[in-house]
Amino acid sequence: TVYSRIAGTGSHLPEKVLTNQDIARMVETSDEWITERTGIKKRHIVAEGETTCDLAEAAARRALEMAGRSAKDIDLIVVATTTPDRIFPGTACLLQARLGAQGCPAFDVQAVCTGFIYALGVADKFIRSGSTRCALVIGAEAMSRIIDWTDRGTCVLFGDGAGAVILEASEEPGVLSTHLHADGRYEKLLHVPYGVSDGLDKVEAGQAKVRMRGNEVFRIAVNTLGRIVDETLLANGMQKSDVDWLVPHQANIRIIQATARKLGLSMDRVVVTVDQHGNTSAASVPLALDVAVRDGRIQRGETVLMEAFGGGFTWGSAILRF
């Protein structure tokens, strides 16, 4: 059997930082409110002219370096993003040209905050089927571009960044399983209500911004993430105690704590970056993974559970031996 296995990780954050105090000068809010309700202290934001592909490229180069691979080794590129540089071509194609990895398939996946888990699931299946040996899988976002900076209910939550993994064919696991779900009936709780073929005039008028009913999203996210944890363990015949690390989507510290409680994991086995990065949507899981790999917390051979929930609704998980 062929498995897919993470050979390297990388991440990148834009230089510009917005603290809670900075945001409190823009809308009616406070550091205390944001910290208590979300756990967020600051977030990184792209500068003018800086793009999702810029962030993705920097993260990709770091992941390649850790894996000891070069661009010519890559035979699949999947970029998860909700904030692509262009309507087309896909950000994966723009990135491919920059890296010099021409010829291999390159495409974007759009599943909002669950995007990286979806991209990892897709790449894992390409590798297991034998058609790919070395995949570059990325989550990259410039969420700040689609935020309404006058809406205090959303503008405090999001940040920009990118995370990448090199996923390689291996006789040893690797990715044990991925679990992907969606329920499109919940679209209106969390969306950008306009786009290219529906409301282009609104897009042009600058109204294509994130709209969210945060309280309802919160409740459904907590319940759904509890269920996906059970599903993932059951599919692998595992106990809660088999999980060494939880690398959750970084939306809100209270959602993360609820999932950790469900797993019976103490918070020192949970990778938390939401305080430093905010919610970077598709970038949040691979960014958190890279942070914990590089600071030496996550070691080879350990069992890592990743999960995410986001717009769509979409949700999913991946469990792997690192």
Residue list 66-125, contact with ligand ACO (CB under 6 A): 113
Under the binding rule (CB under 6 A), the answer on residue 228 touching ligand ACO is: no
Does 249 help bind ligand ACO (rule: CB under 6 A)?
yes
Binding to ligand ACO by residue 310, rule CB under 6 A?
Answer: yes
Burial code of 227-251, b = ≥16 C-beta within 10 A, e = fewer?
ebbeebbeeeebeeeebbbbbbbbb
Phi and psi of 101, rounded to 5°? -115, 35
Site for ligand ACO in 251-270 (CB under 6 A): 251-252, 255
Based on the residue annotation, tell me whether 249 is a catalytic residue of this protein: yes
CB of 252: closest distance to ligand ACO in angstroms? Answer: 4
CB of 293 to ligand ACO, least distance (A): 22
Q: Which residues pair with 270 in a beta bridge?
A: 246
The residue at minimum Cβ distance from ligand ACO is 214
Q: What are phi and psi of 103, to 5 degrees?
A: 110, -35
Of 158 and 322, which CB lies nearer to ligand ACO in the complex structure?
A: 158
- Which string of x and - marks every residue 23-62 that binds ligand ACO (by CB under 6 A)? ------x---xx--xx------------------------
Binding mask 207-226 for ligand ACO (x = CB under 6 A): -----x-xx-xx--x-----
Spatial CB neighbours of 259, under 8 Å, sequence gap ≥ 6: 222, 225, 226, 229, 246, 248, 307
Catalytic, out of 53, 113, 134, 155: 113
Phi, psi at 87, each rounded to 5°: -65, -45
Task: Number of residues interacting with ligand ACO: please give it, by CB under 6 A.
Answer: 24
Of residues 190, 228, 282, 292, which one binds ligand ACO by CB under 6 A? 190
Burial class (CB in 10 A: 0-12, 13-18, 19+), 116: buried
Please, what is the minimum distance in Å from the beta carbon of residue 258 to ligand ACO? 11
Residues contacting residue 170 through CB under 8 Å, at least 6 positions apart: 2, 3, 4, 5
- 279 is annotated as an active-site residue: yes
- Enumerate the active-site residues: 113, 249, 279
Residues that bind ligand ACO (CB under 6 A): 29, 33-34, 37-38, 113, 152-153, 156-157, 190, 212, 214-215, 217-218, 221, 249, 251-252, 255, 279, 309-310
